[in-house]
């Protein structure tokens, strides 16, 4: 059976409940001399016993604490006396109830401890989740920042015109000498290509290839490298490859490097290279019909495989590359805008005329 007062101060000091304050002081001095740690250096419990003695002494000297202590002792004594009067059956019942109460308290403490541990684990999981989420968000922000910087760098790179190479103005001609027997000298080749713009005649390279089986026979094919002084003229020549109206029937004109120069790709990407006008013959027909007052609806599209429009103010490569206005590509934006407006109007009129012709053909059929 549990008691509410584990240590009885009266018993600890060896006095009675009715003892006076002086008797309490006397008993304390006598007992303290016996249990003092200095007099019991080999006793490990000496300090604990001396502390309990001091606590009992202070409790008995405090009137309020002594009254509370006396009340508890009287209650304990009354319970003990009542318990003695119980029969064995009731004693067993009381002991069983007390045992159950102790077990209930034990389970409650264990449950509280389990809940505390579970709460700590939950908080730990939440904290780990917060840490992982913050780390993931930080990584996402870092990736977005890297993408943004890469995009900005890409846009800046796109806005910068690529440097011009001297070979960007050179075109390669391939033709059959039987169809063009006059193209056997550099001057004749330069004269043919001069219709597109100034040519560096001294730098023209001409190669006449004889048949592979018999090198003594006359050459059958010719190849020429023609450097223009302006890349716009070279571009127009490449776009007019094989065109009869441009005097290039049966003549293949391409870039000497086998691909478009980077500056042309940049101009197309930036939308600074205009759409292709129609062939010269069709353009003349369109202009003639427009002068006569033709105004058909627009639906059909013209042939745009002739040669593309090109900024007329493109840099002149007769100057050294370092002096030429390479970064700005020499583009006069006001002139370019006017040229595009005129080109758009011509294309609109051409589409209307072609649509009218198609409608008349269907009606006549």
pLDDT digits (tens, 9 = 90+) for 27-79: 999 988 888 888 888 888 888 988 999 999 998 999 999 999 999 989 988 88
All structural domains of the chain with their residue ranges:
9-85, 163-365
Backbone angles phi, psi at 131, to 5 degrees: -65, -45
The tens digit of pLDDT for each residue in 345-356 reads 767 777 877 887
pLDDT at 138: 92
Instruction: With H, G, I as helix, E, B as strand and everything else as coil, classify residue 33.
Output: helix
Residue 120, both tokens: 């700590």
pLDDT at 273: 64
E runs forming strands in 76-178: 170-176
Quick check: 314 pLDDT over 60?
A: no
The correct CATH number of 9-85 out of 1.10.287.110, 3.20.20.70, 3.40.50.1010, 3.90.1150.10 is 1.10.287.110
Q: How many CA atoms lie within 13 Å of 221's alpha carbon, on the beta-carbon side? A: 10
Classify domain 163-365 at the CATH topology level: Alpha-Beta Plaits (3.30.70)
Domains 9-85 and 163-365 share a fold: no
Q: How confident is the model at residue 201, as a pLDDT?
A: 83
More confident residue, 92 or 216: 92
In this prediction the pTM is 0.38
Compute, in degrees rounded to 10, the torsion defined by CA atoms 143, 144, 149, 151: 110
What value does the mean pLDDT of the chain take?
Answer: 76
């Amino acid at each position: 059976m549990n008691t509410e007062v584990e240590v009885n101060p009266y018993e600890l000091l060896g006095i009675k409940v009715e003892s006076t304050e002086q008797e309490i002081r006397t008993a304390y001095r006598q007992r303290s001399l016996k249990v003092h740690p200095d007099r019991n250096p080999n006793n490990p419990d000496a300090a604990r016993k001396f502390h309990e003695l001091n606590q009992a002494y202070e409790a008995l000297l405090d009137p309020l604490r002594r009254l509370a202590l006396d009340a508890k002792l009287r209650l304990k004594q009354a319970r003990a006396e009542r318990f003695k009067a119980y029969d064995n059956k009731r004693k067993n019942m009381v002991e069983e109830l007390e045992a159950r109460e102790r077990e209930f308290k034990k389970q409650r403490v264990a449950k509280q401890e389990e809940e505390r541990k579970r709460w700590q684990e939950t908080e730990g999981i939440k904290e780990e989740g917060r840490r992982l989420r913050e780390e993931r968000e930080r990584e996402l922000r870092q990736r977005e920042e890297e993408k943004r910087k890469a995009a900005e760098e890409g846009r800046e790179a796109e806005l910068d015109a690529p440097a011009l190479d001297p070979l960007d103005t050179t075109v390669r001609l391939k033709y059959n000498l039987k169809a063009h027997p006059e193209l056997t000298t550099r001057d004749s080749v330069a004269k043919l290509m001069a219709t597109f713009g100034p040519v560096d005649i001294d730098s023209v390279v001409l190669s006449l290839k004889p048949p592979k089986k018999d090198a003594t026979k006359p050459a059958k094919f010719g190849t020429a490298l023609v450097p223009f002084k302006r890349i716009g003229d070279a571009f127009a020549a490449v776009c007019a490859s094989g065109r009869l109206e441009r005097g290039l029937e049966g003549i293949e004109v391409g870039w000497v490097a086998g691909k478009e120069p980077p500056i042309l790709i940049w101009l197309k990407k930036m939308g600074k290279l205009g759409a292709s006008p129609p062939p010269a013959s069709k353009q003349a027909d369109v202009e003639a019909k427009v002068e006569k007052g033709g105004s058909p609806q627009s639906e059909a599209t013209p042939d745009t495989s002739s040669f593309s429009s090109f900024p007329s103010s493109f840099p002149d490569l007769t100057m050294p590359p370092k002096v030429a206005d390479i970064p700005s590509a020499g583009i006069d934006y006001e002139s370019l805008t006017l040229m595009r407006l005129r080109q758009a109007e011509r294309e609109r009129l051409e589409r209307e005329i072609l649509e009218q012709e198609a409608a008349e053909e269907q009606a006549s059929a």
